[in-house]
């Protein structure tokens, strides 16, 4: 009595699957077992259109217990956390929460986080923002600074080192 993926010779990681399912339950979602692969999540997935994330495939692999395969894949980092999949799932399952869990597992396992993610993280640590946006271009190609529009300057952490400390502490908690 066993189920084996004949390509990778991987077997179900039962405990990890249990852990992720428990996380779904804690967040008031349904068990991944209820997913019946309608793929409504992927049909609406913003990350799929650009970056080939397939949330329904994530659910299928989770049901099969093939967690490592997903943790080792860069594609889990493409999720934009728009939560559409969770809002629209007819079975009340939440792929986005599964993706958070997988990303946590990756970080805990010491996996290298993909490059652009690291630079975003650096940017947040140093100035509290992903990007320091001071000016924008309008549709008719005119540049507008925040001051021009009467907006205040974007606030940044007053004490960068304290801010970094808080963030690092938070990062130990799960996303």
Partner 1 sequence: MDRIGVFVCHCGVNIAATVDVDEVVDFAGKLDGVVVSKSYKYMCSDNGANLIKESIKKFKLDGVVVASCSPQMHEHTFRRVVEEAGLNPFVLEIANIREQCSWVHPDRKEATEKAKLLVKGAVAKVRLLEPLVREKVKVTPKALVVGGGIAGIQASLDLSEKGFHVYLVEKEPSIGGRMAQLDKTFPTLDCASCILTPKMMDVKNHPNIELFAYSEVVSVDGSIGNYRVKVVRKPRYVDFDKCTGCGDCVNVCRMKGKVPDEFNMNLGKRGAVYIPFPQAIPLKATIDPEQCLFLRYGKCGRSPACQDVCEAEAIDFTQREELVEFEVGVIVVATGYDLLDPSALYEYGYSRYKDVITTLELERLISSSGPTGGEIVCPSDQRKPGSVTFVLCVGSRDETVCTWCCRVGCMTALKQAYLLREHLGDDVEINICYTDIRSFGKRYEEFYRRIRGVKTNFFRGRPSEVKEKKDGLTIDVFDTMTNKLFEIKTDLVVLVPAVVPRNDSSDLGKILHVSRGADGFFLEAHPKLKPMDTFTDGIFIAGCCQGPKDIQDSVAQASGAASRAANILSKEELEAEPLIAFVDEDFCSGCATCVSVCSFNAIELMKKEDNKYVARVVEALCKGCGSCVAACPSGAMQQKGFKDDQILAVVDVLGGEA
| Region of residue 83 (left: phi > 0; alpha: psi -120 to 50; beta: else) | left
Is there binding between residue 34 and partner 1 (CB under 8 A)? yes
Segment lying near partner 1 (by CB under 8 A), choices 30-38, 40-48, 122-130, 138-146: 30-38
Is there binding between residue 33 and partner 1 (CB under 8 A)? yes
Member of 22, 25, 27, 37 binding partner 1 (CB under 8 A): 37
**DSSP per-residue letters across 91-103:** T---HHHHHHHHH
How far lies 126's CA from each of 112, 164, 171, in Å?
20, 7, 15
How far lies 1's CA from each of 21, 67, 122, in Å?
23, 20, 48
Name which of 61 and 89 has its Cβ closer to partner 1: 61
Name which of 32 and 78 has its Cβ closer to partner 1: 32
- Contact of 59 with 76, CB cutoff 8 Å: no
As measured in angstroms, the least distance from the Cβ of 3 to partner 1 is: 5
Segment lying near partner 1 (by CB under 8 A), choices 33-41, 75-83, 107-115, 131-139: 33-41
Which letter does DSSP use for residue 143 in this model? E
Segment lying near partner 1 (by CB under 8 A), choices 43-51, 59-67, 127-135, 158-166: 59-67
State the sign of the Cα–Cα–Cα–Cα dihedral 68, 103, 132, 83.
positive
Member of 16, 61, 76, 96 binding partner 1 (CB under 8 A): 61
Q: 145 CB contacts (<8 Å, ≥6 apart)?
A: 134, 135
Would you tell me which residues interact with partner 1 (CB under 8 A)? 1-7, 31, 33-34, 36-37, 57, 60-61, 63-64, 66, 91
């Amino acid at each position: 009595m066993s189920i084996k993926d004949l390509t990778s010779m991987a077997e179900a990681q039962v405990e990890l699957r249990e852990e992720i399912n428990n996380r779904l339950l804690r967040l008031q979602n349904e068990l991944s077992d209820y997913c019946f692969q309608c793929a409504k999540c992927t049909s609406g997935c913003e990350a799929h259109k650009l970056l080939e994330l397939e949330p329904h495939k994530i659910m299928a692999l989770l049901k099969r217990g093939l967690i490592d395969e997903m943790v080792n894949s860069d594609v889990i980092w493409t999720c934009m956390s728009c939560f559409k999949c969770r809002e629209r799932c007819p079975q009340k399952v939440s792929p986005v929460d599964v993706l958070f869990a997988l990303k946590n597992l990756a970080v805990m396992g010491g996996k290298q986080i993909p490059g652009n993610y690291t630079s975003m993280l650096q940017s947040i640590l140093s100035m509290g923002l992903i990007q320091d946006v001071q000016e924008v271009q309008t549709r008719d190609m005119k540049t507008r600074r925040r001051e021009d529009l009467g907006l205040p300057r974007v606030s940044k952490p007053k004490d960068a080192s304290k801010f970094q400390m808080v963030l690092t502490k938070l990062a130990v908690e799960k996303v």
